[in-house]
Amino acid sequence: MDFRKIFDTIPEEFDRWRPRYCPELFADLAEYGQLGPGKEVLEVGPGTGQATEPVLRTGCSYTAIELGEHLTEFMKNRFREYGNFRIVNGDFETYDFGEQKFDMVYSAAAFQWIPQGIGYPKAWKLLKEGGTFAMFLMRPDARPGGGYTDEPLYSRIQQVYDRYFHPEVEYRCSLDYDARGRYGFTDLEYREYPFVREFDTESYLSYIATHSDHQTLREPDKSRFYQGIREAIDSCGGKMTMYNKFVLYLGRKASV
């Protein structure tokens, strides 16, 4: 199986548990890109649309390219009422957009799946002069002691990972977000939006089960891993508080 399509097997679970980006991020995105009617926008790897509707609501002409067949159908059903919505089921790396150009190319937690030597140049080529390139995603926001959640829960969870987390396919995606300047993008900006997310034990287990590498866990480690996480959270009051931040990377294709 193409590891890039792991989320295509769980569209409903993925949609339920993945966080929605904050309004402040979309406001900054729309302002930077001057989004509105008449603008042509491409979203790369929309998944189930966590970053789609606020862009559609600007009135722009929206196109998405999504690798997963089931995710594509999910998106079609979700946004079928929008006349400015269009989606292509294809691979961004190889898809031929012809002469089509966009005022904005953006991606939410998906561009890291594309080798940067392919992704950055193609995004640059697809943009009109002065067009906007944007990437955003969620990151842990480390707390005192080095964790993304409170001690001692963080340490107990790490012990479970060390003992039982042996995925069949490891997550190896990496992207140098700061390298975009080396591929012709200018007016580079970086913005952060801190937020806190709380889970009870079972909802946290459901959330991490949607992670790509967690999807490839095999027995007996899989059952031992989830039981270990369950016991760790229950022993600390049955609540998991995660300290996170959304991060936004912006740039432009310089006008000649």
CATH of the domain at 69: 3.40.50.150
Mean pLDDT score across all residues of the chain: 93
pLDDT for 173 equals 73
pLDDT for 56 equals 98
pLDDT for 100 equals 96
How confident is the model over 88-111, as a mean pLDDT? 97
- Using CA atoms, how far apart are residues 212 and 190, in angstroms rounded to an integer? 26
With a CB cutoff of 8 Å and minimum separation 6, the contacts of 116 are: 175, 176, 179, 183
Q: What is the pLDDT of residues 138-174, one digit of tens each?
A: 998 877 677 888 889 999 999 999 999 998 877 677 8
Query: 31 falls in which pLDDT band (50, 70, 90)?
Result: very high
Q: Is the separation of the CB atoms in 179 and 215 below 8 Å?
A: no
Domain extent for 56:
3-253
pLDDT for 135 equals 98
How confident is the model over 77-81, as a mean pLDDT? 97
Q: Is the separation of the CB atoms in 253 and 131 below 8 Å?
A: yes
Angle between helices 153-164 and 221-235 (to 10 degrees): 170
Report the number of distinct structural domains present in the chain.
1
pLDDT for 190 equals 97
How confident is the model over 61-77, as a mean pLDDT? 97
Q: What is the pLDDT of residues 208-241, one digit of tens each?
A: 999 988 998 999 999 999 999 999 999 999 999 9
- Using CA atoms, how far apart are residues 250 and 180, in angstroms rounded to an integer? 9
pLDDT for 3 equals 63
How confident is the model over 171-189, as a mean pLDDT? 90
